[in-house]
Amino acid sequence: MFKMKDTIIKLDNVWKTYQMGKVKVNALRGLNLEIRKGEFVAIMGPSGSGKSTAVNMVGALDIPSKGKIYLEKHDISKLPESDLAQIRGKKIGFIFQQFNLINTLTALENVTLPMIFQGIERDERLETGKNLLRMVGLQERIDHKPTELSGGEQQRVAIARSLANDPEVVLADEPTGNLDSKTGQMVIKFLEDLNKKGKTIIMVTHDTNVAKHANRIEFLKDGKIIKRMKGG
């Protein structure tokens, strides 16, 4: 059984302020969050609670207005975009509600794209890509474009893609939001399997049935964590 150990991501009193015209909006108001290696954490909250902003911070897509973000003990809260892109490419795998595959590329090309950005050789990319697609049960569909795949299949391609560079953390933003409950269950099963294999999973959802699969559920409201629950 996998053992929980070091902190992998830590948000320390993170504030994010947006300028909306003349009004300043605080999306995050001193958010504190600590995620340890191997955890499966769900983040829940109503819309407008700052969930998306929090996910962007955890995923190194954005930097805070105030406060610090640590990834494996490194402060990433003030890094330039080019460094953040490298961190995202290597350390974090994204799964989105909208699947966010590139429509002009085939399933295999979508899965290998993150490896191209890391400069991995073609042969290795193709082998890894095929293995990942086999793992999600799409070995027969590698040459299909996203538009030729069902929603569930597209999300499985996205899961395969998120694992392309063998990241520490998989960040799933409403991964079942656009799927029927049966397909959603299958996606959650994949995430659970990944977690068992040692991946840290951070999942944003508003569905309690989905959230209960996590080890821990963090409730977010008005830009802060208001409640913490054990899941599973």
Does 185 participate in binding other proteins (rule CB under 8 A)? no
How many Å separate Cα 153 from the centre of its chain? 18
Residue number, 190 or 217, with CB nearest to other proteins: 190
Does 47 participate in binding other proteins (rule CB under 8 A)? no
Q: What tokens appear for 182 in the block?
A: 């049966």
Does 215 participate in binding other proteins (rule CB under 8 A)? no
Contact stretch for other proteins (CB under 8 A) within 1-9, 107-115, 206-214, 220-228:
107-115
Does 88 participate in binding other proteins (rule CB under 8 A)? yes
Total residues contacting other proteins by CB under 8 A comes to 30
Residue number, 71 or 217, with CB nearest to other proteins: 71
Q: What tokens appear for 157 in the block?
A: 């391609």
Contact stretch for other proteins (CB under 8 A) within 65-73, 116-124, 136-144, 189-197:
116-124
What is the Cα–Cα distance from 229 to 69, expressed in whole angstroms? 23
Cβ neighbours for 54, distance < 8 A, ≥ 6 positions apart: 11, 28, 31, 33, 43, 204, 220
Lateral strand order in the sheet of 224-230: 92-95, 169-173, 200-204, 40-44, 216-221, 224-230
Task: Using CB under 8 A, list all residues that contact other proteins.
Answer: 56, 59, 61-62, 81-82, 85-86, 88-90, 94, 96, 100-105, 109, 113-114, 116-119, 122, 161, 164-165
